[in-house]
Chain A
Amino acid sequence: AIRITQSPSSLSASTGDRVTITCRASQGISSYLAWYQQKPGKAPKLLIYAASTLQSGVPSRFSGSGSGTDFTLTISCLQSEDFATYYCQQYYSYLPEFGQGTKVEIK
């Protein structure tokens, strides 16, 4: 199975900050990586797929980059509604695997 290591597990930031979350795959997965946002009591919401393609309706302050084994989600200017938990997910293999999550909290 392809393992995904996501870091950090949590971070504190202020509105307006630039935030970066990283995922590393245990083997190369090309660009078969997605990012999700989850708020308490809600289902995950797809933000980015194919490592860098923004899902329709997602604000442009979210961006993704990377290929192979190392990937990054960047929130360029953190807004109040962005405080949530973020997950990456690889879909290179027929067994999708999610990262452990990064909780973005208010500083």
Chain B
Amino acid sequence: QVQLQESGPGLVKPSQTLSLTCTVSGGSISSGGYYWSWIRQHPGKGLEWIGYIYYSGSTYYNPSLKSRVTISVDTSKNQFSLKLSSVTAADTAVYYCARARSEKDAFDIWGQGTMVTVSS
């Protein structure tokens, strides 16, 4: 059974870079067939998709965040990562990693989420 687990700092200073990692267990990213996404949820608000990566390294980002987002994959560690630069308080949110069966599909497996607060 595939499981996802987010990790990373819970507090980031304004203007710095937010960095999170999602570790996949119970399955291999490099086996292909799935797209790995980051999704965030501002406190008390709805869900916002950030972007996805395929095991080959191909990515697609939400145009509203594209200039600040980098998603990368490390198949040797079975992990994928999110970097969001120049953060502000508006980036304070719970960040989830999730899996989809194609680049246009529902998200069938989610990590538990990690809260990131942007504050000095």
Q: A residues within 8 Å of B by Cβ? A: 32, 34, 36, 42-46, 49-50, 55, 87, 89, 91-101
Identify whether the interface residues of A are mostly helix, strand, loop, or mixed: loop
Determine if B47 is an interface residue (Cβ-Cβ < 8 Å). yes
Known: A94-B60, A95-B62, A95-B63. A44 touches B107 (CB 8 A): yes
Query: Max chain B CB contacts within 10 Å: which of A43, A92, A100?
Result: A43
B104 touching A49, Cβ below 8 Å: no
Q: Which residue of A lies closest to B61 (CB)?
A: A95
Query: Max chain A CB contacts within 10 Å: which of B49, B62, B107, B112?
Result: B107
B48 touching A98, Cβ below 8 Å: yes
B62 touching A42, Cβ below 8 Å: no
Q: B residues within 8 Å of A by Cβ? A: 46-49, 60, 62-63, 96, 98, 100, 103-108, 110-113
Q: Which residue of B lies closest to A1 (CB)?
A: B63
Known: A32-B104, A94-B104. A99 touches B46 (CB 8 A): yes
| Nearest 10 Cβ contacts at the A-B interface | A34-B106, A43-B110, A49-B106, A98-B47, A96-B49, A91-B104, A46-B108, A100-B46, A43-B113, A101-B46
Our pick among B46, B60, B108 for the contact of A55 (Cβ within 8 Å) is B108
Our pick among A32, A94, A98 for the contact of B46 (Cβ within 8 Å) is A98
A97 touching B49, Cβ below 8 Å: yes
The residues of A that contact B96 with a CB separation of less than 8 Å are 43-44
Alpha-carbon distance between A34 and B39 when the two chains are bound, in angstroms = 15
Known: A42-B112, A43-B96, A44-B47. A89 touches B63 (CB 8 A): no
Our pick among B62, B110, B111 for the contact of A45 (Cβ within 8 Å) is B110
A43 touching B111, Cβ below 8 Å: yes
A44 touching B110, Cβ below 8 Å: yes
Alpha-carbon distance between A96 and B110 when the two chains are bound, in angstroms = 15
Q: Which residue of A lies closest to B63 (CB)?
A: A95
Alpha-carbon distance between A44 and B111 when the two chains are bound, in angstroms = 9
Q: Which residue of B lies closest to A89 (CB)?
A: B106
